[in-house]
């Protein structure tokens, strides 16, 4: 695709999967109405779910999944040495994701319980940024394809790109969605970063915080609402810890 007769330089992109479900990678291949334009703007040189070809010559590495084995640590370090830009794609890559829940268990005992005399190598789950420097994070479970496309436009044409700073509640109001607290459900929408268009609350399910905290979240007011609605600290901690996105937030 030429613009004013000039052929734009296509960045070489490689997509890598670590510990995760690969749902965020599938998002890159969804939304068929924009897929052709998306693929025409970049050169995909390594993407297992899209092609059997794979090259070690790439500019941008998109990494999905958390780190849960020592061999993944070494693989990430090699990717960082090669890539000019590393993008952490999805909640697992950004925060550890649901996989991080296993850190609450005795991994040696759990390994023996599941695999018996044939234990598998495993370590505590960590997000990508705990292992290597990350240039850009796109949270979500799964990610928003529109955000990924905006990022590609930013890289190719230097168009503006910024994740929303406001919480999911704003998007709920834009969609005229009834507040889930008003119908007896806990929802992390008041403290979670927007950008997903609030599909969970619109579908009748309270937000679980897969996109991590909004900028300057008002935890004090949120915790007061949670207690006012009759939810326990245990329920709140379970919700906050589910994706590992809220760190060591003190709920008391």
**126-185 residue pLDDT tens:** 999 999 999 999 999 999 988 988 988 888 778 888 899 999 999 999 999 999 999 999
Whether pLDDT at 8 is above 90: no
178 and 72, same domain (yes or no): no
pLDDT > 90: percent of the chain: 76
153 and 222, same domain (yes or no): no
Whether the full predicted model's pTM is greater than 0.85, yes or no, is yes
Secondary element (H or E) of residue 187: none
> Is 137 within a domain?
yes
pLDDT band at 91; cut points 50, 70, 90: very high
83 and 123, same domain (yes or no): yes
114, 130, 157 - which closes a domain: 157
pLDDT band at 204; cut points 50, 70, 90: very high
> Is 16 within a domain?
yes
pLDDT at 5 (0 to 100): 62
The average pLDDT across 208-237 equals 96
pLDDT > 70: percent of the chain: 96
Q: Which of 174, 230, 229, 225 is nearest to 197 (CA)?
A: 174
The average pLDDT across 23-48 equals 87
* Structural domain count, the chain: 2
Whether pLDDT at 203 is above 90: yes
64 and 150, same domain (yes or no): yes
53 and 152, same domain (yes or no): yes
In what side-by-side order are the strands of the sheet with 43-47? Answer: 43-47, 12-17, 60-64, 85-89, 136-138
> Is 1 within a domain?
no
Whether pLDDT at 1 is above 60: no
Q: Which of 97, 98, 121 is nearest to 108 (CA)?
A: 121
5: its two tokens: 């007769």
pLDDT at 3 (0 to 100): 52
Domain interval for residue 230: 168-241
């Amino acid at each position: 695709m030429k613009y004013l007769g000039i052929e734009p330089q296509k960045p070489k992109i490689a997509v890598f999967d670590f510990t995760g479900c690969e749902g965020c990678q599938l998002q890159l291949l969804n939304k068929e109405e924009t897929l052709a334009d998306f693929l025409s703007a970049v050169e995909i040189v390594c993407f297992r779910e899209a092609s059997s070809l794979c090259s070690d010559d790439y500019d941008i590495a998109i990494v999905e999944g958390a780190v849960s084995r020592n061999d993944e640590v070494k693989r990430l370090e090699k990717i960082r040495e090669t890539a000019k830009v590393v993008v952490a794609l999805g909640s697992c890559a950004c925060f550890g994701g649901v996989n991080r829940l296993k850190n609450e268990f005795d991994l040696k005992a759990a390994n023996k319980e599941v695999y018996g005399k044939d234990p598998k190598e495993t370590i505590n789950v960590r997000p990508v940024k705990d292992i290597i420097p990350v240039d850009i994070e796109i949270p979500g479970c799964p990610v928003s394809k529109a955000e990924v496309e905006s990022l590609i436009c930013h890289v190719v044409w230097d168009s503006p790109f910024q994740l929303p700073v406001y919480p999911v509640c704003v998007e709920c109001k834009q969609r005229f969605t009834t507040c889930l607290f008003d119908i007896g459900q806990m929802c992390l929408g008041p403290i979670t970063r927007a950008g997903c268009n609030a599909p969970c609350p619109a579908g009748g399910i309270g937000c679980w915080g897969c996109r991590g905290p909004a900028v300057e979240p008002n935890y004090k007011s949120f915790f007061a609402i949670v207690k006012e609605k009759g939810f326990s600290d245990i329920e709140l901690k379970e919700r906050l810890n589910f994706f590992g996105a809220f760190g060591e937030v003190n709920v008391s």
